[in-house]
Amino acid sequence: MTELHYLDIQSASTLIRNKKLSPVEFTNALIERINKFDIYLNAFIRFSPEIALADAKRAEAEIQIGNWRGPLHGIPYGLKDIIDYAGLPTTAHSAVLKDNIAQSDSSVTKKIRAAGGVFMGKLSTHEFAIGGPCFDLPWPPARNPWNRDYFCGGSSSGSGVATAAGFLPYAIGTDTGGSIRNPATMCGIVGMKPTYGLVSRNGVFPLAYSLDHVGPLTRNVRDNAIVLNEISGYDAFDPGSRPQVGCDYTGQLNLDIKGLRVGVIRHFYNEDIVADHEMLTGIDNAVVTLEKLGAIIKDVKTARLQQYSGCNRIIMAAESYSIHQKWLRERPEQYGSITRERLFYGAFMSAVDYVNALRVREKLTQEFHSLFNEVDIIVTASAHDPACRIDDSKANDFIYSRQARAPFNVTGSPAMSVPIGLNSKGLPLGIQIVGKPFSESLIYRVANAFEFSTLSYRQHPDLNKLN
């Protein structure tokens, strides 16, 4: 109780339900921490303590009369600022949408509000979820809480920073080529990109319709499963949504992993693109840990990483340019330079390029899914490098494509980044756990077993060093 800012969702929920912790007390503690430290980290675009306190008071009043809505009741959260919250701007961190007021809640926002969530504000993102850490936008880029001079990952940058820094127990991000898993890896937290269609994207500003996913970022695996329980489900307002039988993603968490067949795609990080040596060592050590926990380890191979990445890049370029074409013609100066450059790449895509990429996508997806005939789960790299300095544009460009996250946007597979410790500079490292479609429960089971064997989730950045 002395460190409310690092209280996990399950513990906080139990205390709130049993009237041992006031949602108002919890919220005020986080407001105080945000006011003290976010000046150094820029996690929030719009911090909304007045809304948070109103939500917390409402949650507390309901608890007093015995109306407990579930595990997110009275728990603070934040939204990446491409996700609509009625009455507030959805800016996408861009001057283009600076005054864009959301007329209604996104579907995921509605679910969290119905669950009794306490809304703390809108979180920084890379501009339109595709730019890098830009310094020519109306708001500054978010910074890594482990060392503010370093990149925090993106594009769900503020979501990763706010969660790792103890500003929020969880945040909602989006992922089109790795944008939940990248900040999760670089900030040392857990980030889940669910199966395509599992979480509604209604009310979320799109980057690439056929690649976009919505998912949670948390500080531990159980919390992540708790949030996914609340936000998943079919939504007729999202054309990509897929009907699913109800599932409790916490149900397998306490099971061991003895006898599970774990495939390792090593060629993604030691052949196709060779990872930083500390990242490579960390991943290999994590695989050894899984083996010690009783998993049966087997190396598996799929198409080269560059094939997946190239397919993702072409589809994203074509689809994102179709969204931004009008604005890019009419007011290109309102975009940040990095965003403008990345979006204009789509102007040079032909219909043939796009259709061929879709054909390759189908082939890659079938090939990848066939691996699950011989293994139950797959692990591989997330990032190939730890965070670089945020002001080093060359380094940022260098590591931008050095990742193994994009393949699973191409295949639509569930994929999660889990922390595996720190490198010699005190910056987080991570591994990626991937399953076949709608196998989130199994991913959580493997991740939870690994987490408790390493206790990496107990490591937190020391924000007092930011002063």
Neighbouring CB atoms inside 10 A of 51's CB total 17
SS3 (DSSP) at 135: coil
179 is catalytic: yes
Within 8 A by CB and 6+ apart from 333, the residues are none
Per the residue annotation, which of 179, 241, 320, 441 is the catalytic one? 179
Per the residue annotation, which of 155, 156, 241, 320 is the catalytic one? 155
22 is catalytic: no
CA dist 323 and 318 (Å) reads 9
Between 305-330 and 351-370, two packed helices, what is the crossing angle to 10 degrees? Answer: 140
CA dist 218 and 230 (Å) reads 14
Per the residue annotation, which of 48, 80, 94, 241 is the catalytic one? 80
Look at residues 128, 236, 230, 88 and name the one whose alpha carbon lies nearest to residue 172: 230
C-alpha dist (Å) from residue 335 to 154, 156, 340, 395, 415: 17, 18, 6, 22, 31
C-alpha dist (Å) from residue 232 to 108, 118, 201, 245: 8, 19, 10, 11
CA dist 196 and 335 (Å) reads 29
Beta pairing partners, 175:
213
48 is catalytic: no
Residue with tokens 């992540």: 224
Helical (H) or strand (E) element with 77: strand 76-80
Kindly list the strands in the beta sheet with 377-381, ordered across the sheet, starting from the edge strand earlier in the chain.
44-47, 118-123, 76-80, 170-175, 213-218, 190-193, 415-422, 428-434, 377-381, 261-264, 296-299
SS3 (DSSP) at 104: coil
Helical (H) or strand (E) element with 283: helix 277-292
Catalytic residues: 80, 155, 179
